[in-house]
């Protein structure tokens, strides 16, 4: 049973560019959450998707947007990249009916903005 898969694993972008990160949830999970983890910090909540809609959002600017597809997979888009967006981006999936339980994290995408 595959867990949460994220792609790509590493990415280097130039300041001002746009980036799209992808996540496939664990089988049986329908809720996807995205987190940003700066070096030496704990993950910070970006937003959560369920039934193809953004359900909750953390304290991130509108440059961060997302999407969930009918097969529950999700994308995170970041526009107008800043140097400070360099971080590990984690996707976590969970079964919505057990809200807060059963979180499974992917290994993340390491984004470097130069």
Partner 1 sequence: GESVGLHLPTLSVQEGDNSIINCAYSNSASDYFIWYKQESGKGPQFIIDIRSNMDKRQGQRVTVLLNKTVKHLSLQIAATQPGDSAVYFCAEISTGYSTLTFGKGTMLLVSP
| Residues engaged in binding partner 1 (CB under 8 A) | 4, 31, 33, 35, 37, 39-45, 48, 56, 58, 88, 90, 92, 94, 96, 99-101, 103-108, 110
Tell me whether residue 11 or residue 88 sits nearer to partner 1 (CB atom): 88
Tell me whether residue 80 or residue 87 sits nearer to partner 1 (CB atom): 87
CA torsion sign, 58 to 62 to 63 to 67?
Answer: positive
Do β-strands 10-13 and 109-113 pair in parallel, antiparallel, or remain unpaired? parallel
Tell me whether residue 77 or residue 112 sits nearer to partner 1 (CB atom): 112
What CA–CA distance (Å, rounded) separates 104 from 17? 30
Instruction: Retrieve residue 51's tokens.
Output: 């039934």
């Amino acid at each position: 049973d595959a867990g949460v898969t994220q792609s790509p694993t590493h990415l280097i972008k130039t300041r001002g560019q746009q980036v799209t990160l992808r996540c496939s949830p664990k089988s049986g999970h329908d809720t996807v959450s995205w987190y940003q983890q700066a070096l030496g910090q704990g993950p910070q909540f970006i937003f959560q998707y369920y039934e193809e809609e953004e359900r909750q959002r953390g304290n991130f600017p509108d440059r961060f947007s997302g999407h969930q597809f009918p097969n529950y997979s999700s994308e995170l888009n970041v526009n107008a990249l800043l140097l400070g967006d360099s971080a590990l981006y984690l996707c976590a999936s969970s079964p919505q009916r057990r809200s807060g339980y059963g979180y499974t994290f992917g290994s993340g995408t390491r984004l470097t903005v130069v």
